[in-house]
Amino acid sequence: MLRKKILAVGAAAMLAMGLAACGNSDTGDKAADDGKIVLGFSQVGAESGWRTANTISIKESATKAGIELKFDDAQQKQENQIKAIRNFIQQKVDVIAFSPVVESGWDTVLKEAKDAKIPVILTDRAVDSQDTSLYKTFIGSDFVKEGKLAGEWLVKETAAATGPVNIVELQGTTGSAPANDRKKGFADAIAGSPNLKVIASQTGDFTRAGGKAVMEQFLKANPKIDVLFAHNDDMGLGALEAITAAGKVPGKDIKIITIDAVKDGMQALADGKFNFIAECSPLLGPQLMDLVKRVKAGETIPTRILTEEGTFTPEQAKAALPTRAY
Ligand code: AHR
């Protein structure tokens, strides 16, 4: 059984956690006056099982760490995240953390936070700002590696294929770090295998509904699809419905590779409907709270903190499911 292990690059041991309640939907105007650290967190949305698990991890960890959490759900819109960050600045929170929905367009608001002397921590997704002094650290997965692991599995799986292998790709949210990076990692991994061809690639916005709708289009437009590479489990699960409705057998007629390894995805893998999953851990809360405390204490922290990922085959998914945390 593969076990997920979180690796904090160069980080010291976790700080002891205090116990206190948090106010995670708090939209009040004032930072805490009871000595608690106040963290403003802007979440991408609730687009996937991964995101739900990530939100729970952050809320539960804040409570355990005795950190007052001001939580905002941006509903997958950058303008909502910018507004939330400006609110946090106005409220004079101690630290701001956010998972940027897209990579570009953050410099102005991050500069505002810097000018207000409020440290910013990026979680899960990166920004493309050239000025890295605008944030203290970025904690999250290596999305390029996830795409690469997916592509490498396919190269091995199809090593004996003689004719062309037609691949369709369901991309994540356009302009987001995981969509950009997973696409790149996968493309790099299959580049040396000319018979592996991505014949269609389109965004499904990381949602089940998006995955289903785009897969329906793919199936209508392409009589021969051998492989689906979906940038997350949820889009793969939506695509399953479209594939079944088209009279094809998922996992057999069309091989399915996804990323995340949330419970529903792992169940589909264990059932033979998916063929391979590269893992992406959403359990970033405990490390984030540790970093918040250290930043608030003025400590120097590593600028990049990586989450170590595994991969799953159907057999490994069967073994892992009973104890899967998310
Ligand atoms: O940023 C992480 C990605 O966002 C997850 O892979 C996906 O499921 C989520 O929506």
| Model pLDDT for residues 141-180, shown as the tens digit of each residue | 999 999 999 999 999 999 999 999 999 999 999 999 999 9
**Probe residue for ligand 1, chosen from 232, 277, 284, 309 as the CB with the greatest number of ligand atoms within 8 Å:** 232
- Residue 244: how many CB atoms within 10 A of its CB? 12
Q: How far is the CA of 178 from the centre of ligand 1 (A)?
A: 7
Stated length of the chain: 326
Q: Is 287's C-beta closer than 6 angstroms to any atom of ligand 1?
A: no
How many whole angstroms from its chain centre is CA 172?
A: 10
Q: Is 208's C-beta closer than 6 angstroms to any atom of ligand 1?
A: no
Q: Is 143's C-beta closer than 6 angstroms to any atom of ligand 1?
A: no
CA-CA-CA-CA torsion sign (205, 207, 212, 215): positive
**Probe residue for ligand 1, chosen from 124, 181, 206, 307 as the CB with the greatest number of ligand atoms within 8 Å:** 206
What atom of ligand 1 comes closest to residue 47's alpha carbon? 10
Q: What is the domain class of 38-141+282-308 according to CATH?
A: alpha beta
Q: Is 50's C-beta closer than 6 angstroms to any atom of ligand 1?
A: yes
Pick the residue with more confidence: 207 or 8? 207
Supply the mean pLDDT for the chain.
92
Q: How far is the CA of 46 from the centre of ligand 1 (A)?
A: 10
Check: CB of residue 165 under 8 Å from CB of residue 158. yes
Q: Name which of 216, 189, 188 is nearest 200 in CA terms.
A: 216
List of residues 6+ apart from 83 with CB closer than 8 A: none
Instruction: Give whole-number Cα distances, 145 to 77, 185, 255, 279, in Å.
Output: 26, 6, 20, 10
Q: Is 186's C-beta closer than 6 angstroms to any atom of ligand 1?
A: no
Residue 93, both tokens? 């929170």
Check: CB of residue 283 under 8 Å from CB of residue 57. yes
What atom of ligand 1 comes closest to residue 177's alpha carbon? 1
What atom of ligand 1 comes closest to residue 260's alpha carbon? 6
What is the phi/psi pair of residue 14, to 5°? -60, 145
**pLDDT tier for residue 35 given thresholds of 50, 70 and 90:** confident
The answer to whether domain 143-280 has CATH 1.10.630.10 is: no
Q: DSSP strand E in the chain: where?
A: 38-43, 68-73, 95-98, 120-123, 137-141, 165-171, 196-203, 227-230, 255-260, 276-279, 304-307, 311-312
Q: How far is the CA of 143 from the centre of ligand 1 (A)?
A: 10
Tell me if residue 102 falls in helix, strand or coil.
coil
Q: How confident is the model over 257-311, as pLDDT tens digits?
A: 999 999 999 999 999 999 999 999 999 999 999 999 999 999 999 999 999 889 9
CATH 3.40.50.2300 in the chain, residue ranges: 38-141+282-308, 143-280
Q: Is 103's C-beta closer than 6 angstroms to any atom of ligand 1?
A: no
pLDDT of residue 253: 98
**Probe residue for ligand 1, chosen from 280, 281, 283 as the CB with the greatest number of ligand atoms within 8 Å:** 280
Check: CB of residue 185 under 8 Å from CB of residue 148. yes
Q: DSSP strand E in 65-223: where?
A: 68-73, 95-98, 120-123, 137-141, 165-171, 196-203
**pLDDT tier for residue 240 given thresholds of 50, 70 and 90:** very high
Mean pLDDT, to the nearest integer, of 214-239?
Answer: 98
Q: How far is the CA of 232 from the centre of ligand 1 (A)?
A: 6
Is the backbone of residue 155 left (phi > 0), alpha (psi -120 to 50) or beta? Answer: alpha
Q: How confident is the model over 81-95, as pLDDT tens digits?
A: 999 999 999 999 999
Residue 100, both tokens? 């940027």
What atom of ligand 1 comes closest to residue 262's alpha carbon? 8
What atom of ligand 1 comes closest to residue 99's alpha carbon? 1
d(CA 294, CA 150): 35
pLDDT of residue 68: 98
**pLDDT tier for residue 34 given thresholds of 50, 70 and 90:** confident
Q: How far is the CA of 321 from the centre of ligand 1 (A)?
A: 20
**pLDDT tier for residue 26 given thresholds of 50, 70 and 90:** very low
